[in-house]
C-alpha cells in the first residue's frame, strides 16, 4: 500500500440554502477543492461521493453519476462511486478513496460529501434520519436519533456522574468556535443557561444539545504522496484511515456508555499511524449531540472513561486547551449536512494543518484527527492527518 496525501479541499457555506440544489452544492464544493489543489479535470482518475439519504431528501439516488455530470467529467467515463453509511458517509467516502489510491489503482481521486436536508419539513427530516437506525426494531416503534442518544446520555450520567451542565459546555464551546467560522450555520455564542433553558427534545437532551438540519457539501482531493508533490508544496499526509462497524441497533451493543465501533477504529488508527492519543494536537469529532462529543473524547483515549464531562468543563477541549476539539464549530454550530460532515471535518483539519484557519487557528497543529460516526454508532471512521 502506497502513502497517500490530501492536496486540496473546499466546503460550501453550511445552512438553510434554499437557493441551491443538491447538484449545485456538489458542483460548488468539488470545484473549490479542485481549484485549491491546482489540478485539472483530466487529472482526475475517479470520484467518490458520500451521501446519506438524497433519495428521501430530494428524490435523487445515483450520486456518482450526478457528480460526474455536474463536474463536467461525463465524457471521461471515470469511475464514480457513491458510498453510504448514514452520517459517516463522508468519512467512508474518504476511506474508500484512500484505499483506492493506496492500492495503486488510481493516482488522483476527488472525494466529496453532500446533503440537501432543508427541502423537507423538520419532522420528516427526523424520520428520514431515523433510516440510519434499525427501521424494523427501532424507528417503527418511535425511536428517533435524539431519543437514542438520550438513552446513551442518561446511562453515561448514571454510570459516570456526567451532568447536564457538562453536556451544555460542549455546545457552548462549539458555538464559541463557530463564531470564528464564516462557513458555519450558526455564528453566535450561547451560554450554559441558554442550553439548559432550551426546549427539552429527549430528556436529558435540550434543543441546544442537538446539531441542526443543514444543507451543505464538502470535497477533498486525494493523491499518492508522490503525485501530490507535483501539485502542491503543502500536502497533508493521511497517516491512518480506519473504518469499523457495529450493530445498527443500539440494543445489540456490547456497552452503552461508549461507541465500540469508534473504540475499534481508534485502536486501528493509532496503530496504523504509529502514534498515541497524546500525540494528537487537535481533533474534529462527531458531536451530533453533546453527549456524543463527551463519549468521543473518551473513545479516542484523550481522557479516561467517564472523564469526558469534567474534562470539557475544565477547558481541556477548548480552542486554547491542551487538545482543541471541534475548532470548526463542530456539527453543533457549523451544521450537520449528514453526508458532507465527514469531509467537512477533513477540510477543517487541512486548514489547521496548513496554517490557514485564520482567527480559529490553533497554536500547535502538526497532527490532527477526525472522528465520524454513522447512526447511533453502527459505523465509525477515523482519520489521522499530518502536515508534511
Q: Would you name the residues annotated as active-site residues?
A: 87, 336
20 vs 26: CA distance, rounded Å: 10
Select from 67-75, 180-188, 207-215, 344-352 the region that touches a second copy (CB under 8 A): 67-75
**DSSP calls for 225-288:** HHHHHHH-S--EEEEEEEEEE--SSGGG-S-SSS-HHHHHHHHHHHHHHT--GGG--EEE---S
H/E element holding 334?
A: helix 330-334
Question: Is 26 or 357 the residue whose CB approaches a second copy more closely?
Answer: 26
Binding pattern for the stretch 104-143 against a second copy, x by CB under 8 A and - elsewhere: xx---------------------xx-xxxxxxx--x----
H/E element holding 67?
A: helix 63-70
Distance, first Cα to last Cα, the chain: 19
Select from 53-61, 226-234, 292-300, 358-366 the region that touches a second copy (CB under 8 A): 53-61
- Pick from 5, 37, 44, 66: which binds a second copy (CB under 8 A)? 66
| 205-206 and 200-202 strand pairing | antiparallel
Question: Is 92 or 367 the residue whose CB approaches a second copy more closely?
Answer: 92
| Shortest distance, position 252 Cβ to a second copy, whole Å | 6
Question: Is 100 or 351 the residue whose CB approaches a second copy more closely?
Answer: 100
174 vs 203: CA distance, rounded Å: 21
Kindly identify the residues of this chain, within the stretch 258-277, that bind a second copy according to CB under 8 A: 260-261, 264-265
Question: Is 21 or 163 the residue whose CB approaches a second copy more closely?
Answer: 21
Q: What is the DSSP letter of 97?
A: H
Q: Taking a C-beta distance cutoff of 8 angstroms, is the pair 374, 225 a contact?
A: no
CA distances, 2 to each of 293, 343, 383 (Å): 32, 21, 16
Find residue 325's DSSP bridge partners: 283
For residue 156, the SS3 value is helix
User: Does residue 74 interact with a second copy by CB under 8 A?
Assistant: yes
| Shortest distance, position 5 Cβ to a second copy, whole Å | 17
Question: CA nearest 100: which of 238, 275, 219, 218?
Answer: 238
CA 194 to chain centre: 25
Binding pattern for the stretch 219-248 against a second copy, x by CB under 8 A and - elsewhere: ------------------------xxxxxx
# binding residues, a second copy (CB under 8 A): 69
User: Does residue 288 interact with a second copy by CB under 8 A?
Assistant: no
**Which residues would be at the binding site for a second copy (CB under 8 A)?**
1, 21, 23, 47, 52-53, 55-56, 58-66, 68-69, 73-75, 77-86, 92, 95-96, 99-100, 102-105, 127-128, 130-136, 139, 243-249, 252-254, 260-261, 264-265, 374-375, 378-379
Amino acid at each position: 500500500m502506497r502513502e497517500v496525501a490530501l492536496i486540496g479541499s473546499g466546503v460550501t457555506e453550511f445552512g438553510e440554502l434554499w437557493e441551491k440544489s443538491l447538484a449545485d452544492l456538489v458542483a460548488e464544493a468539488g470545484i473549490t477543492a479542485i481549484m485549491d489543489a491546482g489540478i485539472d479535470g483530466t487529472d482526475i482518475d475517479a470520484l467518490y461521493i458520500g451521501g446519506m439519504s438524497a433519495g428521501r431528501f430530494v428524490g435523487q439516488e445515483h450520486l456518482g453519476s450526478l457528480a460526474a455530470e455536474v463536474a463536467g467529467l461525463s465524457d471521461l467515463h471515470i469511475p464514480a462511486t457513491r458510498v453510504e453509511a448514514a452520517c459517516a458517509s463522508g468519512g467512508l467516502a474518504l476511506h474508500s478513496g484512500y484505499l483506492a489510491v493506496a492500492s495503486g489503482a488510481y493516482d488522483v481521486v476527488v472525494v466529496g460529501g453532500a446533503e440537501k436536508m432543508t427541502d423537507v419539513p423538520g419532522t420528516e427530516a427526523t424520520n428520514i434520519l431515523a433510516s440510519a437506525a434499525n427501521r424494523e426494531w427501532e424507528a417503527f416503534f418511535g425511536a428517533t436519533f435524539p431519543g437514542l442518544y438520550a438513552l446513551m446520555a442518561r446511562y453515561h450520567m448514571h454510570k459516570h456522574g456526567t451532568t447536564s451542565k457538562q453536556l451544555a459546555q460542549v455546545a457552548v464551546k462549539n458555538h464559541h468556535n463557530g463564531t470564528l467560522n464564516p462557513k458555519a450555520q450558526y455564528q453566535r455564542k450561547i451560554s450554559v443557561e441558554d442550553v439548559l433553558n432550551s426546549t427539552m427534545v429527549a430528556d436529558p437532551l435540550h434543543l441546544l444539545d442537538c446539531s441542526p438540519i443543514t444543507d451543505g457539501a464538502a470535497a477533498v482531493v486525494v493523491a499518492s504522496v508522490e503525485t501530490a508533490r507535483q501539485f502542491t508544496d503543502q500536502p497533508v499526509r493521511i497517516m491512518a484511515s480506519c473504518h469499523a462497524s457495529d450493530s445498527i441497533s443500539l440494543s445489540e451493543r456490547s456497552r452503552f456508555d461508549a461507541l465500540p465501533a469508534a473504540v475499534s477504529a481508534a485502536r486501528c488508527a493509532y496503530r496504523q499511524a504509529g502514534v498515541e492519543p497524546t500525540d494528537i494536537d487537535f481533533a474534529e469529532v462527531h458531536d451530533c449531540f453533546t453527549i456524543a462529543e463527551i463519549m468521543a473524547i473518551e473513545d479516542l483515549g484523550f481522557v479516561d472513561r467517564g472523564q469526558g464531562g469534567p474534562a470539557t468543563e475544565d477547558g481541556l477541549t477548548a480552542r486554547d486547551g491542551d487538545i482543541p476539539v471541534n475548532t470548526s464549530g463542530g456539527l453543533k454550530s457549523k451544521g450537520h449536512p449528514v453526508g458532507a460532515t465527514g469531509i467537512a471535518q477533513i477540510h477543517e483539519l487541512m486548514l489547521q494543518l496548513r496554517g490557514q484557519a485564520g482567527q480559529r487557528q490553533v497554536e500547535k497543529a502538526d497532527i490532527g484527527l477526525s472522528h465520524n460516526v454513522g447512526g447511533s454508532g453502527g459505523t465509525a471512521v477515523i482519520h489521522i492527518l499530518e502536515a508534511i
